[in-house]
Amino acid sequence: MIKKNMQAGELKLRKNAVLAIGMIVGLGIAVFACVLAYSGTFKRKPDIILITCDALRADHLGCYGYKRMTSPVIDRLASDGALFLNCFSTSCSTLHAIPALISGRYLAVSELDVFNGESCNIIDGKFTLLAEYLRKSGYQTAAFVCNDFVRQGTGFEHGFDVFKMCVGSSGTVTDKIIDFLNRYNRAKPYFIWVHYCDTHVPYFSPAEFSAVFKNDRFYNENNAVLAVDLVPRGTYPKDGSISRKAFHKGEFSSNYYTALYDAAIRHNDSQIGRLLTHVDDNTVIIVTADHGESLGEHNKYFHHISMYDEVLRIPLIIRDNGYFKGGKKIPVLVSSVDIVPTILNRINPFWYFFVKNRFDGIDLARAAGSPPNRKYIYSYFPGIRCIRDVKKNIKYMIFPDDKEALYRIPDEENNLINDDSLRDEKQELKRSLRAWLKEYPVNVDGNRRKCALDEQAQENLRSMGYIQ
Ligand SMILES: [Zn+2]
């Protein structure tokens, strides 16, 4: 009898235990489902367009305070979205800047003689790029790029279902995107990367735009008369000179070219406007650049090989109705390496939470709230390395001959490297840069091989002045 009672008691206990475990598991599943639902995992993900404009400076856009009306469309995006006032590129050239911009990591290519056709397999397949992440998340992915440094076969195309090289102005590029959108079946959300080249030398815009700022009331301000440097194409002109690739016959005035540059922005802006009429208002739009451009600062004209801020400071505007509060101006210093983490956290926060350490960049939604816990951001180019203290806004650079420079931003005229009052800051920046350089940037072209540039690629590089 006692034994029977004990067995019944044991059975009851077991039942209760099973019930309790069941409840705990059920509760766990419910919490997990709530977290997923809250994080938007089950929602249709937003369409995303990432617009990079080659050599577009932030400070020549209206929303960054520029005197000319170069960018009414981009300005409107900025007033509807988030405007990052201080975004810096990881490099001063397309080839070295885009890898970080589309990977969220400090990736770089090593020094390549791209002009002789050694630019194949630049990005090894083992490095995951934004389009690959998005494709895995259910996106259809398409790229429309104008610069041959990122053409098909260089690895930049990894993860894209459609990858088109577009020769010509932003009008031609936009035609191709609109054609894609017209045929798009909308079964999946899309991710489009467009890289425009209007603002890269030779600053192209059609006739109705090219003269729009010529002889306006700013046209004669701070003009300089330039020499023409007959350097071979593909190299950069001496200070105070304009290169042969940028030179227009009989035009020696620096303001002539700056007006052309501004006109190219205005034209590109109008094409972004045309593109926007084909996408719905909930599409996430990101406008940025690979790097800026020297327009006379530091006596450098119409190229972008330097680490001064006219070249490193780029626009960053994110119009995203579901995420960033409209009209927000964010002063904290951020980097183009932050763009990928921001997009990935936006579309899949639950997943991102567990993988965020894969990235060197940070999610900028945090920067929009409180300043991120980050001390430095970095930029690099073969030969020039740069570290910036984001709180003190001091910048240290080191060159191949071990020449150094230290600037208290925004003043980049006075090199403070021998200023004793900044000795501690200098030592700290130098030490931190050295520590960073032990691991970064990671060269991603581990699988280099020679490959011939086809005729189209040669023509494109010729039109941008890179080869003879
Ligand atoms: Zn570029």
Go through the domains of the chain in sequence order and give each one's CATH number. Answer: 48-372+452-463 (3.40.720.10)
Token pair for residue 37?
A: 């639902």
How far, in Å, from the CA of 60 to the mean position of ligand 1? 16
- What pLDDT is stored for residue 192 in this prediction? 98
User: From CA 418, how far away is CA 406, in angstroms rounded?
Assistant: 9
Q: Model confidence over 249-265: pLDDT tens digits?
A: 999 999 999 999 999 99
How far CA 128 is from CA of 138, 237, 313, 405, 464, in Å, comes to 16, 36, 26, 34, 29
Rounded to a whole number of angstroms, the CA Rg of the chain reads 26
Q: 183: which DSSP letter?
A: T
How far, in Å, from the CA of 284 to the mean position of ligand 1? 23
Mean pLDDT of all residues in the chain? 88
- What pLDDT is stored for residue 316 in this prediction? 98
The whole-number average pLDDT for the span 454-458 is: 72
How far, in Å, from the CA of 186 to the mean position of ligand 1? 32
Q: Model confidence over 28-42: pLDDT tens digits?
A: 655 555 555 555 556
Least-confidence region, from 285-289, 316-320, 399-403, 417-421: 399-403
Instruction: Assess whether pLDDT exceeds 70 at residue 17.
Output: no
Instruction: Assess whether pLDDT exceeds 90 at residue 58.
Output: yes
How far, in Å, from the CA of 188 to the mean position of ligand 1? 31
The whole-number average pLDDT for the span 287-305 is: 96
Instruction: Assess whether pLDDT exceeds 70 at residue 449.
Output: no
Q: Model confidence over 344-377: pLDDT tens digits?
A: 999 999 999 999 999 999 999 877 777 778 999 9
Return the biggest CA–CA distance within the chain: 115
How far, in Å, from the CA of 200 to the mean position of ligand 1? 7
163 has which bridge partners?
143
How far, in Å, from the CA of 55 to the mean position of ligand 1? 5
How far, in Å, from the CA of 371 to the mean position of ligand 1? 29
How far, in Å, from the CA of 94 to the mean position of ligand 1? 4
How far, in Å, from the CA of 291 to the mean position of ligand 1? 6
User: Which range scores top for mean pLDDT: 27-41, 68-82, 118-132, 234-248?
Assistant: 68-82
How far, in Å, from the CA of 290 to the mean position of ligand 1? 5
How far, in Å, from the CA of 91 to the mean position of ligand 1? 9
In terms of pLDDT, which residue wins out, 27 or 353? Answer: 353
Residue 324 pLDDT level (bands cut at 50, 70, 90): confident
How far, in Å, from the CA of 147 to the mean position of ligand 1? 8
How far, in Å, from the CA of 185 to the mean position of ligand 1? 32
**CB count in 10 Å sphere of residue 420:** 8
Instruction: Assess whether pLDDT exceeds 80 at residue 181.
Output: yes
How far, in Å, from the CA of 54 to the mean position of ligand 1? 4
**One-letter amino acid for residue 298 of the chain:** H
Token pair for residue 62?
A: 């209206």
Q: Please report which helix (H) or strand (E) contains residue 381, including its range.
A: strand 376-381
User: From CA 101, how far away is CA 97, in angstroms rounded?
Assistant: 6
Q: Model confidence over 140-167: pLDDT tens digits?
A: 999 999 988 888 888 899 999 999 999 8
C-alpha angle 198-292-74 in degrees, rounded to nearest 5: 60
How far, in Å, from the CA of 104 to the mean position of ligand 1? 18
Instruction: Assess whether pLDDT exceeds 60 at residue 6.
Output: no
How far, in Å, from the CA of 96 to the mean position of ligand 1? 9
How far CA 316 is from CA of 65, 178, 431, in Å, comes to 14, 23, 30
How far, in Å, from the CA of 71 to the mean position of ligand 1? 19
Comparing CA positions, the residue from 339, 366, 308, 451 lying closest to residue 105 is 339
Instruction: Assess whether pLDDT exceeds 60 at residue 445.
Output: yes
Least-confidence region, from 11-20, 217-226, 246-255, 337-346: 11-20
- What pLDDT is stored for residue 9 in this prediction? 63
How far, in Å, from the CA of 466 to the mean position of ligand 1? 12
How far, in Å, from the CA of 133 to the mean position of ligand 1? 24
How far, in Å, from the CA of 436 to the mean position of ligand 1? 24
Least-confidence region, from 237-246, 429-438, 459-468: 459-468
Comparing CA positions, the residue from 148, 160, 149, 146 lying closest to residue 192 is 160
- What pLDDT is stored for residue 30 in this prediction? 59
How far, in Å, from the CA of 36 to the mean position of ligand 1? 39
Instruction: Assess whether pLDDT exceeds 60 at residue 118.
Output: no
How far, in Å, from the CA of 276 to the mean position of ligand 1? 23
In terms of pLDDT, which residue wins out, 166 or 43? Answer: 166
